[in-house]
Amino acid sequence: MIYYRLAIQEYDTSKWVWKSTVVTSLVAVLHLLRMYSPIPEERIRVFSSTCKEEMAEMLNRENDGLESGSLTSGEFLRERRLSVKNVSASETIEKLVRRSTTVALELSTREDCPAPQPAYAGSIGLLDQRRLQIELGSAGDHDTPYRFSLPGSTPQLLAWTRLLVRVQAGELQS
């Protein structure tokens, strides 16, 4: 699951301060960005992480002038090919998210068009870049918690039960 949080740069101290709680939905982030749209985009940063506890460290790094992995609101929206300032009454943010998902899928399947490089590309390793591209991408169900349920068929149920017994006996590591 990806966690998001918005910070705004104060005018008097130039320090970044939290302006939102932790959210897990891209739609919630877009609603927040729409709410803060009168503020210049370079004064709003979107922090994202797979761990809630990392958010405070990311903010501290940004305030110390170090690489934090956060993006300005403009960079965040451009990576997802979105705009929240010019949303018409008939086009809700949910429709924008759906449309950006379609555009991202179409672009990723084109062979003649290379994938756009994200803003964090130069600061982390190649494998971590790929992992973040997958996790932060708009396609997939990565924002939906996984819920395991036992299969309905008896052979599959027995296989899972045998596997569980082996894990509990220490033959396999979970």
* 77-124 per-position pLDDT tens digit: 888 777 655 444 445 555 555 554 444 444 444 444 444 444 444 455
| Residue 172 belongs to domain spanning | 146-174
68 and 96 in a single domain? The answer is: yes
For residue 166, is it within any domain?
yes
For residue 131, is it within any domain?
yes
118 and 169 in a single domain? The answer is: no
Among 44-48, 70-74, 110-114, the minimum mean pLDDT is found in 110-114
82 and 107 in a single domain? The answer is: yes
d(CA 88, CA 97): 14
Confidence of residue 25 (pLDDT cuts 50, 70, 90): confident
- Alpha-carbon torsion angle 92, 93, 99, 102, nearest 10: -140
For residue 170, is it within any domain?
yes
For residue 91, is it within any domain?
yes
152 and 75 in a single domain? The answer is: no
Residue 19, exposed/middle/buried by CB under 10 A (0-12, 13-18, 19+)?
A: middle
Rounded average pLDDT over 13-41: 87
150 and 74 in a single domain? The answer is: no
**How high is the pLDDT of residue 43?**
92
14 and 83 in a single domain? The answer is: yes
126 and 151 in a single domain? The answer is: no
The packing angle between helices 93-109 and 26-35, to 10°, is 120
119 and 160 in a single domain? The answer is: no
Q: What is the pTM of this model?
A: 0.51
In the chain, the number of structural domains is 2
72 and 150 in a single domain? The answer is: no
48 and 127 in a single domain? The answer is: yes
43 and 84 in a single domain? The answer is: yes
d(CA 26, CA 121): 21
In this model, does residue 29 exceed pLDDT 90? no
For residue 84, is it within any domain?
yes
In this model, does residue 6 exceed pLDDT 90? yes
The long-range contacts involving 25-29, CB below 8 angstroms and separated by at least 24 positions, are 25/143, 26/80, 26/97, 26/138, 26/143, 27/93, 27/94, 27/97, 28/4, 29/4, 29/76
For residue 141, is it within any domain?
no
115 and 158 in a single domain? The answer is: no
